[in-house]
Amino acid sequence: MGKEEAIVIGAGFAGIAAATTLAHQGFRVTVLEKNDSAGGRARKFSSAGFTFDMGPSWYWMPDIFEKYFARFGKHPSDYYNLVRLDPSYKVVFGENDELLMPANYEALQALFESLEPGAGERLQVFLDQAARKYKVGIQDWVYKPCQSVWEFAQPGIFNDFIRLDLFQSMQKHVRSFFKHEKLVQIMEFPVLFLGQTAKKIPALYSMMNYADLVLGTWYPMGGMHEIIKAMVILAEEKGVRFEYNADVSHINILNGMATSVVLKDDRKFYADVIIAGADYHHVETKLLPPGASNYSEGYWDKRTLAPSSLIFYLGVDDRIDHLQHHNLFFDEPLAPHASAIYDKPDWPEKPLFYVCCPSKTDPSVAPAGKENLFILIPLAPDLEDTEEKREAYYNLVMKRLENHTGQAIREKVCYKRSYAHRDFINDYNAFKGNAYGLANTLGQTAMLKPKIRNKKVSNLFYTGQLTVPGPGVPPSLISGQVVADEVTKAYLSTSLQH
């Protein structure tokens, strides 16, 4: 294999991981990024002395990051300082009704036992099962390209299907162990990262509870963008070239091969192989000529999307009491909120919301004596996004936050920015303004996700949250490596040679 030219569209987690892996394997790689900096949804911005992570704020599955950097002879600690949060997070159930989730496992068991006799012991059984699922799911499944069922035709994998609870819902699984409603909500919370309710997510994903309660919640000092910064440094060390403000107009196809990528400013980049880390639907419907897509518009309209989000980035001219680094507000019933997101999409009357206050851990993200707040409200995709709606929801959640903290926060806000559907579309070409890709329902798991390889254009591949293994930072990191390995295999087998 010579020095083939590879173009990667998009500098998110998946795109950077794909580019670095390809460069490590001998390709000349150029990354074309629409925005003026790397990171995709994990970009950052600074204003008025505050530094805000724009998207991901939870650092789970540290082993995935360790494995990624180890692939190139590195370690996360070579680039950033990782600290474990304790408590991991706070859950607010109502007025004067909250739980702090301890990092210490014995303390966690004691907490469960205090709410429901026998729950501490059952937690151990639950997590033992979750640990087995994590081992199989993370080590045996998620690094597979899911091109064929035969990838799973190995001794033990098919035998594991029943044991892994693929055909049982997470809701039923959790409730077979715990009855107390608070424990049920805590154990069902991690699947919200997968884009659906526990009723529709397979119990396989109790492995997320293992990630949460055993592997722990971490934070890279300086913010989540420190991971992106590290990945870009490593990529450039491998020879990857980044082109920013490089908005792709179209991909040229000739005789079933992608030959070049053309930008909206008419610059052209020739390629032997292209990996699209941009929004899969956007690539298929806007960047490819008619007849070159894997899927029809009807196919995409039938997909179950994970939620979008309304986000507020706030700088507060005061310290705020009664908040941890991560805070989940479950002070309104889950059912109406879930219905508004998944069943009959609308703006919910009483939304659940999440508050990240990284300045509790990291003084670098806010001026002295001030607080950095990231407030996220999960919402259905494809809603009408207006300033009036945003402002109404701002006041709604801020009233609940002020009630919880006992402080008049709104009058102390010295910086405010909102971000929702139309921003996701404008910045990332996000399908229907989604924030997290496709939900990990049973019908959208593994081989049932959009394929990483274009069936009609032999040297065009896809990576990111709309393909395998799914939404979230660790899956995106894995997605980039998986597609790069598939590209390398294809070239070694000469199947992509002109």
- Quick: pLDDT tens for 211-227: 999 999 999 999 999 99
Residue at a domain's end among 164, 182, 215: 215
What is the pLDDT, as a whole number, of residue 147?
67
Residues 176 and 230 grouped into a single domain = no
Bridge pairing between strands 308-316 and 371-379? antiparallel
237 to each of 72, 122, 271, 401, how far by Cα in Å?
A: 10, 48, 21, 45
The single-letter DSSP state of residue 248 is E
Closest CA to 338 of 385, 303, 306, 311: 306
What is the pTM for the complete model shown?
Answer: 0.96
Q: Which of 6-15, 142-151, 178-187, 202-211 has the lowest mean pLDDT?
A: 142-151
Q: In the predicted model, what is the mean pLDDT of residues 78-90? A: 98
CB 76 within 8 A of CB 69: yes
pLDDT tens column, 148-164: 555 555 655 555 655 67
What is the pLDDT, as a whole number, of residue 498?
46
For residue 270, pLDDT beyond 50: yes
Residue 416 lies in a domain: yes
The larger pLDDT score, comparing residue 464 to residue 335, is at: 464
Residues 116 and 9 grouped into a single domain = no
For the chain, how many structural domains are there in total? 3
Residues 277 and 206 grouped into a single domain = no
Residues 231 and 134 grouped into a single domain = no
Residue at a domain's end among 215, 249, 273: 215
The single-letter DSSP state of residue 426 is H
Residue 70 lies in a domain: yes
What is the pLDDT, as a whole number, of residue 148?
56
Structure-token match 């692939």, residue found: 71
Closest CA to 289 of 323, 255, 330, 320: 255
Closest CA to 350 of 320, 311, 379: 379
The larger pLDDT score, comparing residue 156 to residue 123, is at: 123
Residue 90 lies in a domain: no
Residues 267 and 377 grouped into a single domain = no
Range of the domain at 121: 105-215
- Per-residue pLDDT band at 188 (split at 50, 70, 90): very high
375 to each of 72, 192, 338, 342, how far by Cα in Å?
A: 35, 16, 18, 21
Residue 188, both tokens? 């069902």
For residue 75, report the phi and psi dihedrals to the nearest 5 degrees: -140, 150
236 to each of 14, 48, 190, 240, how far by Cα in Å?
A: 16, 31, 34, 5
Q: In the predicted model, what is the mean pLDDT of residues 1-14? A: 91
* Mean of pLDDT over the chain: 93
For residue 435, pLDDT beyond 50: yes
pLDDT tens column, 367-423: 999 999 999 999 999 999 999 999 999 999 999 999 999 999 999 999 999 999 999
Residue 176 lies in a domain: yes
